[in-house]
Amino acid sequence: MSDVNPGQAVFQTAILPSSRLSLSRAWYGVFILVLAYTASFIDRTILSLLVQPIQQDLGLNDTEVSLLHGLAFAIFYTFLGLPIARMADHMSRRRIIIVGITIWSLMTATCGLASRFWHLFLSRVGVGVGEAALSPAAYSMIADMFPKEQHGRALGVYSTGLYIGSGLAFIIGGTVIDMVARLNISELPFIGAVQNWQIIFFLVGLPGIAIVLLMMTVKEPPRIGQMGTATAVPFRAVLRFWGSNWKSFSCHFIGFSMTGLVFNGLLAWAPVLFMRKFGYQASEVGHALGISILIFGTCGIIAGGVLADWWVKHGRAEGPMRAGWVGALAVTPLAVLAPLAGSDQMAIAFFCLFFFFASFPYGAAIAALQAITPNPMRAQISAFFLFVLNMMGIGLGPTIVAVFTDYVFADPMAIDRSMAVVGAIFGPLGAIALYLGFKPFAASAQRANIVS
C-alpha cells in the first residue's frame, strides 16, 4: 500500500460485500425521505411569509427577524449535525430520522406559543435541533440504496424536498393565512388569546407527526463498503481523511456554501420584497413564489444531478463540481436582476430562472461527497458540509441582507438593493471556488476505493 496515502488506507481494509435493497424498496425509501425533507422545509420556511405580522406584534426590525430565520435555526442545526452524524455512521439511521421528525414538528407548533422574541428564538432553535437528524442520515441511507453511478439522480430526487418544501411552504402558507384571516379566530382552547400567525405555526407543525408513521415503513438498507465492525470510525481517522483531501473538500464546501448563501438570503426576503415594493398581500406572494420554487427549483436540482451523472459517465470524475459551477455562474446575474426588476411580472420571471439555477448544484453537491468518501465516514463528512453550508447559507444569508437594509441603506424599502448586493458579491466567490476544485476533486475521486 505504498502508493496509497494515509487518509485512504483507513477504509481500504476489511470491506465486506453486501446486497442492496430491491429497486422498488429503494425508490420507496427515497419517496418517504422526500416527504420528510419537504415537511422540514415547510416548517423552517413558513416564517418568511409571517414577517410583517410578527414584526408588528413583537416590535422587531429586519435584523432581529433575520436572526429568527437564520441564526436561531442554524446554530444547533449545524453543531448537532456532527455528533448525530457519528451516530448515523454506526446506528440505525431510520430511528435517528424518526426522532428528529418528531422533535422538529412539535417545536414548530411551539412557535405558535411565543409572545416575545426570545420565546420564538428558542422554539426556532428546537426546530433546528430536530432537523439536524435528517439529512446526514438520509444521505448515507440513499448512498447504500443505489450504485455509485446513480447517486446523482437519487440524491437529486431526495434534494427536491428542499424546493418542494419551500414552494409548498409559500403556497400552503398563503392559503392558510387567507383561511385563518377569514375564520377570524382570536382564542383557542387551553391556550387562550392568539394571533393569526401563531395559529399558522400550529397548523403547519403538527401534521409532521404523520410522516413519522410513514418513516416506520422504510427499511434500513445494508451498509455497502462498511468495515467489519459496528462501532464508529475514530474521529481522528475522519480528520486524517479530510486532511488527505483538503483541497477537494475546501473548494467544495466554500463553493457550494457561497451559492447557498445567495439562495437563502434571497429566499428569506423575497416575500417581503414583493410586499414592500409591489404591494402584494402575503397570500398573493405565497402563491406566486411558491409555484415558481416548486416547478423551477425542483426541475433545477434534478437537472443538476442528471448533468453530474452524465459527466461522470463520460469520464469526468469532477462532474458534480462542474454541475455546481454551471449553477453558480448563472445564479450571479439573476440574483442581481430579480430583486431590481421594475415590475412584479419581470421580477417573478427572473426569480423563476434564479430558483432553477440556484437549485442546480445541490443534487451534485451531495453526490460529490458520496463519490469520494468511504461509507463509515459519509454521514460525518456530510455533516461537516452541512455545518459550513448552513452556517453560511441559513445562518448568515438572511442576516447579511437585513444588515445592508437596516445599517447600510437604513431604509426598509432598500430591500431590493440589499438582495442584489449579496448576489453580486457571493455568487462569483462560489463560482471561483468550484472551478478551483476541479483538479483536486478529480484526484480524490480517482483515489477513492468504495464498493458500489
Distance in angstroms between the alpha carbons of the first and the last residue of the chain: 21
21 versus 57: the higher-pLDDT residue is 57
Predicted local confidence at residue 20, as pLDDT: 66
Residue 15: which pLDDT band, with cuts at 50, 70 and 90? very low
CA distances from 413 to 68, 202, 404, 416, 419 (A): 21, 31, 11, 7, 11
Predicted local confidence at residue 19, as pLDDT: 58
Predicted local confidence at residue 9, as pLDDT: 42
Task: At 293, list the grid cell.
Answer: 420554487
Predicted local confidence at residue 333, as pLDDT: 97
Give residue-wise pLDDT tens across range 16-27: 444 567 888 889
DSSP 163-182: HHHHHHHHHHHHHHHHHHHH
Confidence check: pLDDT of 153 > 80: no
Least Cα distance to 420 among 275, 293, 269, 294 occurs for 269
Place of cell 445562518: 395
pTM of the model: 0.78
Predicted local confidence at residue 10, as pLDDT: 42
User: Which helix (H) or strand (E) segment is 188 a member of?
Assistant: strand 187-188
Confidence check: pLDDT of 381 > 60: yes
Predicted local confidence at residue 417, as pLDDT: 97
Give Cβ neighbours of residue 221 (< 8 Å, ≥ 6 apart).
20, 21, 26, 29, 141, 144, 145
Q: Could you give the CA distance from residue 283 to residue 200 in angstroms, rounded to a whole number?
A: 13
Predicted local confidence at residue 357, as pLDDT: 93
Mean of pLDDT over the chain: 85
Give residue-wise pLDDT tens across range 264-292: 999 999 999 999 999 998 888 988 999 99
Q: Could you give the CA distance from residue 96 to residue 375 in angstroms, rounded to a whole number?
A: 17
Contact by Cβ (8 Å): 80, 137: no
Give residue-wise pLDDT tens across range 191-247: 878 888 888 898 888 888 899 999 999 988 887 755 444 456 777 888 898 888 999
Alpha-carbon torsion (312, 297, 142, 369), positive or negative? positive
Q: Cα-atom radius of gyration of the chain, to the nearest Å?
A: 21
Confidence check: pLDDT of 5 > 50: no
Give residue-wise pLDDT tens across range 428-441: 999 999 999 999 99
Q: Which CATH number fits domain 21-223+239-447: 1.10.10.410, 1.20.1250.20, 3.50.50.60, 1.10.10.1100?
A: 1.20.1250.20
Contact by Cβ (8 Å): 423, 332: yes
Q: Could you give the CA distance from residue 430 to residue 384 in angstroms, rounded to a whole number?
A: 18
User: Which helix (H) or strand (E) segment is 19 a member of?
Assistant: none
Q: Name which of 45-54, 335-344, 373-382 the model is least confident about.
A: 373-382
Rounded average pLDDT over 154-158: 80
Predicted local confidence at residue 13, as pLDDT: 37
Confidence check: pLDDT of 11 > 70: no
Task: At 353, list the grid cell.
Answer: 430562472
Contact by Cβ (8 Å): 402, 418: yes
Residue 337: which pLDDT band, with cuts at 50, 70 and 90? very high
Predicted local confidence at residue 74, as pLDDT: 82
Q: Could you give the CA distance from residue 215 to residue 142 in angstroms, rounded to a whole number?
A: 14
Instruction: Tell me how far the alpha carbon of residue 152 is from its chain's centroid.
Output: 16
Helix 235-244 vs helix 246-278: crossing angle, to nearest 10: 90
Place of cell 449553477: 327
Give residue-wise pLDDT tens across range 289-329: 999 999 998 888 888 878 888 888 888 888 889 999 999 99
Q: Which amino acid belongs to residue 69?
A: H
Rounded average pLDDT over 394-420: 94
Q: Which amino acid belongs to residue 306?
A: V
Q: Which amino acid belongs to residue 155?
A: L
Predicted local confidence at residue 88, as pLDDT: 80
Confidence check: pLDDT of 349 > 60: yes
Residue spans per domain, the chain: 21-223+239-447
Least Cα distance to 411 among 62, 8, 25, 112 occurs for 62
14 versus 151: the higher-pLDDT residue is 151
DSSP 423-450: HHHHHHHHHHHHHHTHHHHHHHHHH---
Helix 246-278 vs helix 319-340: crossing angle, to nearest 10: 20
Give residue-wise pLDDT tens across range 106-147: 999 999 898 899 999 999 999 988 888 898 789 888 888 888
Q: Could you give the CA distance from residue 86 to residue 93 in angstroms, rounded to a whole number?
A: 11
Give residue-wise pLDDT tens across range 86-113: 788 778 899 999 999 999 999 999 998 9
Task: At 346, list the grid cell.
Answer: 419581470
SS3 state of residue 187: strand
Rounded average pLDDT over 355-364: 84
Name the burial class of residue 203, with classes exposed (0-12), middle (13-18) and buried (19+) by CB atoms within 10 angstroms of its CB: middle
